[in-house]
């Protein structure tokens, strides 16, 4: 503690203690605690009153007020009268103001004293509530799709066309880059191994089958989860914060029909086209390695690719991409509708949408692999 400020305690025989405030009481010099004063006052039952001597107090700021508030609480607990007449006029006014405006409940940060068992229970309850919300959302979306099939869903066609443009044409640059690089990587890894056995031509089979069956749909899905799924969550989260979604409900419009349904439809329509485009670009990337490293001709490479790929592989990848599109759209919209009412919650919703979408894609890919194996596809 700084030596610039201090206090003295002078007990009197009539049950009164005089507290002398000495020096410059400023925040820059540190804070005194009433706990130090309690030890010097002792536990005498004869102490009935406290007065102040501020003749040696040279300067002060809010640090002295903090000390006096703690001392006032100590006096209240011990039944001691606190005489403020010896304090400067400004200090007394601030003290009265501090007591007139009580501390807001919850303003102080409470220490978390929950046990690990309580934390596990709270996490379990939170997970159960999240599962219930997800199932409720899926049920409501099922009803919405039934209304769409019955031509009774209400949404704006202009919104659908705008979302199709955002999910389709505007996603082509990033899909092109990633798909080309994936094709190059697959071809390079395969070329290093197959070249040892003189089987360079099978690089075309490797890249073609991998891109058409799995990688084209999966990489497109992951790209769209990070790009479009997060955008859906941020858009709906912002509308939740600004109470626009509540305004839709008040006006008699279903947010699921007006906001969620066009986004799901846009991804369902665009994901197969993006998947086909990603397959083609990935094959081109593999061909660059095949022609550049393995001395294969373009004609030979593409003929071998066409012979290796079947329509079953092609339509299987397209079907997967459609399912991935549904999962991405539902994950993004769900997290957006679950968004809190703060600006930081919008970022949390976008992050959660990306994680949920990617996890859903990977799980669905594993399920498809098992099902296709059982069906012999």
Sequential DSSP letters for 210-268: HIIIIIHHHHHHHHHIIIIIHHHHHHHHHHHHTTHHHHHHHTT--HIIIIIHHHHHHHH
**What is the model's pLDDT at position 223?**
93
C-beta of residue 70 within 8 angstroms of C-beta of residue 104: no
The pLDDT of residue 342 is 78
Give me the tens of pLDDT residue by residue for the chain, a chain 377 residues long: 445 677 777 776 677 878 888 888 777 767 777 666 666 666 555 777 888 888 888 888 877 877 888 888 888 877 788 887 878 888 888 877 877 766 666 555 555 567 888 888 888 998 888 888 888 888 988 988 898 888 888 888 888 999 999 888 899 999 999 999 999 999 999 888 888 887 888 899 999 999 999 999 999 999 999 989 999 999 998 988 888 888 888 887 888 888 899 999 999 999 999 999 999 999 999 999 988 888 888 999 999 999 999 899 899 999 999 999 999 999 999 998 888 887 788 888 999 999 999 999 999 999 999 998 898 87
Q: What is the pLDDT of residue 2?
A: 46
CA distance 349 to 75: 49
Give the pLDDT confidence score for residue 1 in this predicted structure: 42
Instruction: Tell me what pLDDT residue 327 has.
Output: 93
Cα distance from N-terminal residue to C-terminal residue, the chain: 78
DSSP letter (8 states) at residue 28: G
C-beta contacts of 134-141 below 8 A and 24+ residues apart:
134/334, 137/330, 137/334, 137/337, 138/330, 140/256, 141/256, 141/260, 141/261, 141/264, 141/330
Cβ 5 vs Cβ 32: under 8 Å? yes
- Quick one: DSSP state of residue 83? -
Number of Cβ atoms within 10 Å of the Cβ of 132: 10
DSSP string, 321-347: HHHHHHHHHHHHHHHHHT--SSHHHHH
């Amino acid at each position: 503690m700084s030596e610039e400020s201090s206090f003295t305690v002078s007990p009197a025989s009539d049950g009164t203690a005089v507290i002398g405030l000495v020096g410059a009481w400023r925040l820059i010099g540190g804070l005194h605690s009433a706990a130090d004063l309690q030890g010097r006052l002792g536990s005498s039952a004869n102490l009935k009153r406290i007065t102040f001597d501020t003749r040696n107090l040279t300067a002060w700021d809010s640090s002295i007020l903090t000390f006096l508030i703690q001392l006032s609480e100590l006096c209240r607990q011990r039944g001691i009268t606190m005489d403020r007449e010896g304090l400067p006029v400004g200090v007394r006014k601030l003290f009265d103001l501090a007591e007139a405006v009580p501390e807001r409940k919850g303003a102080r940060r409470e220490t978390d004293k929950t046990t690990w068992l309580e934390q596990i229970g709270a996490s379990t309850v939170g997970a159960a509530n999240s599962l219930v919300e997800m199932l409720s959302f899926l049920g409501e979306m099922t009803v919405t799709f039934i209304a769409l099939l019955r031509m009774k869903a209400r949404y704006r066609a202009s919104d659908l066309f705008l979302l199709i443009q955002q999910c389709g044409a505007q996603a082509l640059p990033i899909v092109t880059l990633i798909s080309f690089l994936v094709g190059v990587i697959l071809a390079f890894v395969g070329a290093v191994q197959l070249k040892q056995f003189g089987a360079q031509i099978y690089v075309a089979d490797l890249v073609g089958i991998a891109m058409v069956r799995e990688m084209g749909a999966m990489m497109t899905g992951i790209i769209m989860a990070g790009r479009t799924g997060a955008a859906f969550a941020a858009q709906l989260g912002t509308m939740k914060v600004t109470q626009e979604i509540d305004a839709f409900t008040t006006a008699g419009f279903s947010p699921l029909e007006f906001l969620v349904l066009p986004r799901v439809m846009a991804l369902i329509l665009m994901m197969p086209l993006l998947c086909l485009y990603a397959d083609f670009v990935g094959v081109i990337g593999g061909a660059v390695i095949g022609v550049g490293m393995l001395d294969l001709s373009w004609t030979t490479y593409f003929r071998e690719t066409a012979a290796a790929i079947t329509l079953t592989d092609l339509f299987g990848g397209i079907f997967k991409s459609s399912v991935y599109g549904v999962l991405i759209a539902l994950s993004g919209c769900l997290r957006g509708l679950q968004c809190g009412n703060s600006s930081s919650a919008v970022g949390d919703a976008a992050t959660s949408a990306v994680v949920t979408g990617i996890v859903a894609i990977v799980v669905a890919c594993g399920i498809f692999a098992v099902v296709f194996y059982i069906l012999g596809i």
